Structures are given as C-alpha cells and as structure tokens.
Amino acid sequence: MSDLSASRPVPSKFRLSLLMLAAIYPFVTAILYVLMPLTEGWPLWERTAILAPIMVFSIVYGIAPTIQRRFAWFILRQPRPAAA
C-alpha cells in the first residue's frame, strides 16, 4: 500500500486555489451585475439567499470539475500534455 501512495502525485492546493479564484471571481462579479438591478431595495440577506445557491451549484457541478479536468496536469505539478 505504501508503494501505491508513494507513486501518486500530490496535488497543489495553492495552484488549485489560484485557478479557482481566476474562474470564480469573474463569475460571481457577472452574477452580481445581473442580480443587483433585479433585487434593488432588497435586504442583503435576501440577495444572498438568491446568490449563494447559484454560486454553490455552479462551482460544485460546473467550475470545479472543469478546472480539475482541464488543468489536472498543472494542479498535480506534471508536464503539460501535448495538444491533441
């Protein structure tokens, strides 16, 4: 069992966090640009109640899997694969 774990590359949490930040910041900003005019005058907690589920489901089911699939080589500190 130690041979298996020794050969498996360790993902870089720092690199993953940079990629997540680069993808999520513009996504959340775009959602806010759309949401704010539609919820003008609403209390902050109501706006957050609309924003949070959109963000969470988008990140969990869209953004994070896409980043992990397309940038696995970068997160795992491996050479970039040749373009197919």
Please state, in angstroms and rounded to a whole number, the distance separating the CA atoms of residues 3 and 22.
35
pLDDT of residue 84: 63
Helices (H), the chain: 2-7, 13-38, 44-58, 64-70, 72-75
For the stretch 2-25, pLDDT in tens is: 555 567 889 999 999 999 999 999
Letter string b/e over residues 56-79, b meaning 16 or more CB atoms within 10 A of that residue's CB: eebbeeebbeebeeebeebbeeee
pTM: 0.77
d(CA 27, CA 62): 11
